[in-house]
Structures are given as structure tokens and as C-alpha cells.
Amino acid sequence: MKLVKSLMLGSAAGLIAMSGAQAADLPVKAKAVEYVRICSLYGAGFWYIPGTDTCMKIGGYLRVDTTFNGGIYNQPAWSGDLGQGNRFVDMIQSRSRMALTVDTRTATEYGVVRTFMQGDFQFNNFGTTNPTSLATSGTPTALGGISGTLLNNDGGGYVAVEYVFIQFAGFTFGKSSSAYATPWNGYPGNNSSFLLGGHDTVTGVNNIQYQAQFGNGVSATIGLDDPTIFNRTALYNLSTPVSATVPTPVGPNGLGVNAYGGFVVPDLVGNVRIDQAWGLFQVSGALHDVSASYNTLTFGGAPTTASILSGHPDSKVGGSVMAALQIKNIPTGPGDDIKFDASWAKGDTKNVIETSSTSPNFLMIGGVPGQFGSSGTIAWGPTTDGVFLPVAAGGDGRIHLTESFGFRGAFNHNWDPYWSTSLFGAMAWVRYDDTARAEYCAAIAGAVPGQGVSYSCNPNYNVSQLGVVTRWTPVKNLTFSAEAMWFHLHTGFSGFSTFSPGAPQPVQAWTFKNQDTLSLNVRVQRNF
């Protein structure tokens, strides 16, 4: 009996333990999972950030670009080692980039609050350069930064920030395209980031702007732009020596010393635009402050103890205007269009001799690889907002603003859903007034001998471009393209002189003559 009793009690205890364990293992009601919901308010690709009423879209592209006889994104061989065609030049330059965009939007009683960012993760191959420029380009800056050249080594690369802005109640705050810009910026149909003749802030500029909508496609935008990074070329002080080794105010490459002062007044910019089914028409305007540092500067524009006492020329207000037109629904085919814009500037040359980066100065040598001019010929074009020569140096002490004109455009044609071609071109003129030309020519006479005897001096110049790009899109959002572009530089100098335009070029007889070059760019891009 005792044995039976013990077995029964043990079995009961085991059953109780098992039932307790099973009770503990019973599933507990889980919290509801909050799935990501599609946001259809702002177009495809947006979704609600869980737990909020904010919609977000992540997108961008991956692009691989290679240019032959030019810089990245099909920059023509119009200056530097490429313009000289010397042995330091990289004839093939490439960039691999992934652009990442983050777009958030929230509906409020004041309208949509939007934030937008684009960061470019990129790597370039142009890590070699002329040793004379490497000595400075590879040196850490005063702020501790280093040149992108040093980041383009194995495992290197860097992040470039294009757009970072907030939009609220018609206002835009941050780094975005200027209120002066057209919707296509500097890309009416080209791949190249170097189509001259008009404005281009496709990589963004710090600004504050406000847009008003009037209905029926009519709008107006006004803004304040920071000019220091994007909207200045140079202001030459024609009394300042270029360097200790080049003791003349203009060097044998046609370039003088930039004496722009600090940022005091933002650029006032704006546009009036009409958007319709047939296309758009826009008129833009800008006012730009041209102010110098001092009359007396040492080599390269550095200050001296006499700078403040020497005074400075009175500042001048420059500016520019642009008219732009897009025509859609043309009879050549569905989706075809024509885009073009025309610009005039005085003291605001960046809005004509414009790229997605800085404005170029031009220097091209003929008879070398990549250039079509005859051997021993040279052409240059200095790009400035103005020049001045202080009274103490024999000038009138006033800033003489540089005048420029330009236009560019493209015809874009779709052959079928997979193939398209764009034909594009541009022209621009840079002009110095009579006093500016006389002062500039007096400043360069010491560096380039024979003025008035073997050659005539004139810093005016023209540029022309003509290009074609064909694209193949075998599947949606994947495009292969090839672009060829001709560039022509028409110099105002004529005759010849014996000098060196700078190492590694020798001292020899150079004939001033117009120059031409051709570049080829191939690209593959995947949008997402």
C-alpha cells in the first residue's frame, strides 16, 4: 500500500508540474505590428515613417563617367595641363558616383513642410597632376581640410553635398538652386557640366527664397544668394605683382591677381515664370556687389601694413538678366522639345561663363595632343567681374565692370522608347571697356614682350560649343550614353611674342591664334 501510495503521489506531482509548465508556455497576445504604409500624397516612392504623419522617399542614382581628352563630366581641354597637352596630363578621366537623395514631406495647416538632401559618394581617378600644382593642391588648408586629389587613392573617395534645404509656406532655406535658375539649370539637353553661356546652380548655393503662385501656371520667385562660393569670378588689381617670380600684375598666362573683398551684400535674385502645356517662359534678374579689398597688396594679393592706409576703390553694383524658353509638343515626335536661354551680364560674369563648378579662365596651346591648332600657337581668355588700377599706380582708381553675353540651347528628340538624341550648343562673349583694356594691356606688357610691335593686346574673347549626345535605355531607369563636344576659343590677341606661358613650356616664339578641341564622354547611369 505504501508503495502504491507513493507512486500515486509522485504521478500527481508530476502531472501538476507538467500542467504548470504547459500553462507557462501558452502564447501571450503580441502587440500589433505597425507596418510601413504607402504615402500616395506626393507621388510614387513615398511611404509614411512609422508612428508619424511624415512621408519619406529615398532615391538617387549610380553613375560611371569617363571622358577622353577632357575633365570629368566632359569638361573641354580648355586650360591647365589639358589645355597645354603636356606630359603631365591625364588624357582619360573617370568618376564613379552614387547620389543618395532623402525627401521628407509633412502636411500642415501652413502647407507642406519639406526637407531634401542629396549627398554624392564618389571616387575620381585623376590623382596625378602637374607637380607644380600638386605642391599647393595637396597641402592642408587653413581650416584643416585637404584637397580632393589626396582622397582619390586606393580605397579613398569622398562625399560631396549638393542640395540640403527646408521648404515651408513658400520659403526655401538652405543649399538649393538659385531663384535665378531655370528648371534645367545648365542642362538643356547635354550630359556635360560645362556648357557655357548662362546660369547653372545645379549643385546648389546657400540661399533664402520665396515663391508666390498666382494661378494658371504663373509664378514669381525672389531670393538672396551667398555669392562667395558660386557667383564670383575675379576682380583684378592691376597694380599687384602676380608672385615673387612673376613681378608683373598680369602673368604670361593672361591672368592677374584677384582682389575681391569679403562678403558684405548677398546677391538679390528672382524670376517670373509661366508654365503651360506648350512649355514655359521665364525671365530672371540678379544684382551683384563688386567690391575690392585694398589698393596696395603684395605678391598674389596678400595684405601689407600699407593696405588699409592705401584705401580701396568704391564698390559697384553689377548684375545680369536671363530669358529662357521651352517649347514642347513639337511635330518631330512625342516627348521632343527645344530649350534655350539667353543672358547678359555686367560685373556678374559667372552668370554667363558658368559651369556647375567655378568659372574657367582659358589657355590653349596648338600642335599638342588633344588640340587642333597649329604648332607654336596659343590663345587665352581671362574671366573677371572687373578690373581696377589705383590712382597711385597711374590709373583712375575705379572698378571697370566686365560685360558678357551668352546663349545656349538644345533640341531633344526621341527616336523610340529606347533611343534618344540631343543636339546642343552655346556661344559667349566677354568684353572689357576701353579703359580696362588699356590698363590690362599695360599690366601684361612686362610679362609678354613686344606689345605694339610684334603683337597687339586685347583681353576680349569669345567661346563656342557644339555637341551631340545619344542615349540608349534598354530597361527602365538604366541608360547608356555617349557625348561628343567641340569647343572653340577665339582670342582677341594677334601677332606673336617670345616668352614662356609657364612651366613646363619653354621660352619660344608663340603666335596668338584661335584654338579648337574635341572631347568624348561615355556614361552609364542607373536611377532608383
Q: Convert the pLDDT of each residue in 275-289 to its tens digit.
A: 999 999 999 999 999
Q: pLDDT-based confidence at 31, cuts 50/70/90?
A: low
pLDDT of residue 357: 86
Is a pLDDT exceeding 50 seen at residue 5?
Answer: no
Q: Residue 8: is its pLDDT beyond 70? A: no
Long-range contacts of 39-44 (CB under 8 A, 24+ apart): 41/105, 41/107, 42/105, 42/112
Domain 35-527 in CATH 3.40.1360.10? The answer is: no
Per-residue pLDDT band for 56 (boundaries 50, 70, 90) equals very high
Mean pLDDT, all residues of the chain? 90
The pLDDT value given to residue 33: 57
Residues 6+ apart with CB under 8 A from 239: 249, 295, 296, 389, 390, 392, 393, 395, 443
Segment 80-113, tens digit of pLDDT = 999 999 999 889 999 999 999 999 999 999 999 9
Beta strands at 235-237 and 386-388: parallel, antiparallel or unpaired: parallel
Average pLDDT score over residue span 484-499: 98
Residue 6 has pLDDT above 60, yes or no: no
Instruction: Extract the C-alpha cell encoding 69.
Output: 581628352
User: What would the mean pLDDT of 398-419 be, rounded to a whole number?
Assistant: 98
Strand pairing partners for 449? Answer: none
pLDDT tops 80 at residue 134: no
Which residue in 113, 72, 115 sits closest to 96, CA to CA? 72
* Partners of 226 in the β-ladder: none
Contact indicator for 176, 207 with CB cutoff of 8 Å = yes
* pTM assigned to the model: 0.88
Nearest-CA neighbor of 271 among 229, 317, 324? 324
